[in-house]
Amino acid sequence: MRIFLSGPMGAGKSTTALRLAQALGLPALDLDAQIEVRGGATVAAIFRDRGEAAFRELEREVLGQILARSDDFVLALGGGTVVDRASRARLLEDGLVVTLHASLDALCRRVGAGAERPLLARGPDVATRLGELLHQRAAAYAECHLFWDTEQEEALLPVIVACLVSPPILVPLGERSYRVRVGAGLLASMEPPADASGVLVVSDDNVHGLWAAEVVRRLDDAGRRVVQVVLPAGEAHKTLAQVEAIWQQALDARLDRDAFVWAIGGGVVTDMAAFAASTLMRGVRVGLAPTSLLAMVDAAVGGKTGFDMRQGKNLVGTFWQPVEVVADLRTLSTLPVLERQSGLAEVVKSAWLDSEQAVVALERDADALAAGDLAALESAVRRSVALKARIVSQDEREAGSRALLNLGHTLGHGFEAAAGLGALGHGQAVALGMLAACRVERALGEGERDTEHRLAHLLQRLGLPTNWEERLDAHVLSFLDVDKKRRGGRTRFILPGSPGRARVHPIEASALAQALRTPGGA
């Protein structure tokens, strides 16, 4: 339970730290005060006599000493602490980062003439310089678990406590950062942005009556302007025609660029609604409430949107990050067993990409996951989302490491498409694709038979198919020619390796087909 308060000068970090610490029974620390003790001079004097570079180096050193402590605390950071990328990453990993903010006028009133604030002396006046600093630091301040306006009347403490009980998972993308909330009952707390001129709620005819209709009623009761779109359910309807239906409803209702799209449903709904949002009036904000395990751990996080074409899955789409993702675990209670198993394939993929420890945790919880245990599912969702958030923050548009998330998908899409839409679930196809990838790896003279057996055993325990060899035919292989990951005639194929050691291997379709047909691998 470590809480780090960030934000600009005048946001009230030190005062808030004292109040929170007292309420939570924790020690309150102030980074600037600790720096002054360590440096033997005031912050202003260190800036004046040694320069900002020396101050920042001292700041990193003192912060490292504080983070090395074994206890919990509330720490008020300096206004520029989180600008350092490495420090920001450490803070986000070590505790709850809360950015305190206020309007420029309020900040100016609080700092006054700024006589003891050396960075304010570098501009023609306090307001101009403070405004410049806010602009320069906006991306760093946005990468936080909670963004709090100190001018609002609502008390901060209960919000902090709720975040500590169920910490949001941050997808850190500068000013486009967003949080993924995971827990039971979260749909009841879904709120569109206060400044949204209207809310377009998109669901399908399976999810609408179960979950979306109640959200619509609550928004209506709150006086929000709501427009509903209910799509036909199923992968067979993941088409441009359904995207057009979303556009038409929004335009017929005369929604404007300040409107907000809430997608409530599985991956088909979240993909199409987010694509529609990304293109409607050249882009409106979107929030996602995935209601399937597959959507929670994959489709709803990362910003990929799109729809299917007759040539294959998700061949037309955009990158458009949501402003929030709400994964209400209650919705998993209404999933058919096959749908839950489909999501578990992506959970296995994420664990395999992550580490040996993640795979061991999955093996430990496999029976509980197969039975639909809520606690085990929450842990699995959190691990998967955290991995994807980490990869997406490093490679948002799949220029490098994000390609690893396609483990099992190159052949999985082929298995799925060859079976016919709806005949084989996406997750079931990915399970087959991961095992086929193990065989490719061994045919190339890499990989171990024991690794393939371990993966197959885990998939079987979770109720997923492993009979990829029986399903492999020319029809499956034909879909390699329309794979989105091709570059220069070669597919960026993902070799699974051992847990945490997957890698990208460019390979031509003919060589891939030959490797798959090698009996038992090399």
Residues recognised as catalytic: 282, 304, 346, 388, 398, 402, 406, 409, 413, 426
Of 93, 86, 69, 66, the residue nearest 77 (C-alpha) = 66
Q: Tell me, what amino acid is at 157?
A: L
Distances in Å between the Cα of 378 and the Cα atoms of 56, 181, 383, 385 are 39, 11, 9, 10
The two three-digit tokens of residue 23, written as one number: 């309420």
Of 250, 165, 238, the residue nearest 201 (C-alpha) = 250
- Distance CA(136)–CA(321), nearest Å, equals 22
Estimate to the nearest angstrom the gap between the alpha carbon of 370 and the chain centroid: 24
CB 272 within 8 A of CB 246: yes
Cβ-based neighbours of 383, under 8 Å, separated by 6 or more: 347, 350, 351, 354, 358, 361
Which helix (H) or strand (E) element contains residue 61? helix 52-67
CB 471 within 8 A of CB 415: yes
Pair type for strands 178-183 and 169-171: antiparallel
- Distance CA(278)–CA(192), nearest Å, equals 17
Q: What are 200's strand-pairing partners?
A: 227, 261
- Distance CA(277)–CA(274), nearest Å, equals 5
Cβ-based neighbours of 399, under 8 Å, separated by 6 or more: none
Looking at residue 422, the DSSP 8-state letter turns out to be: T
**3-state SS, residue 182:** strand
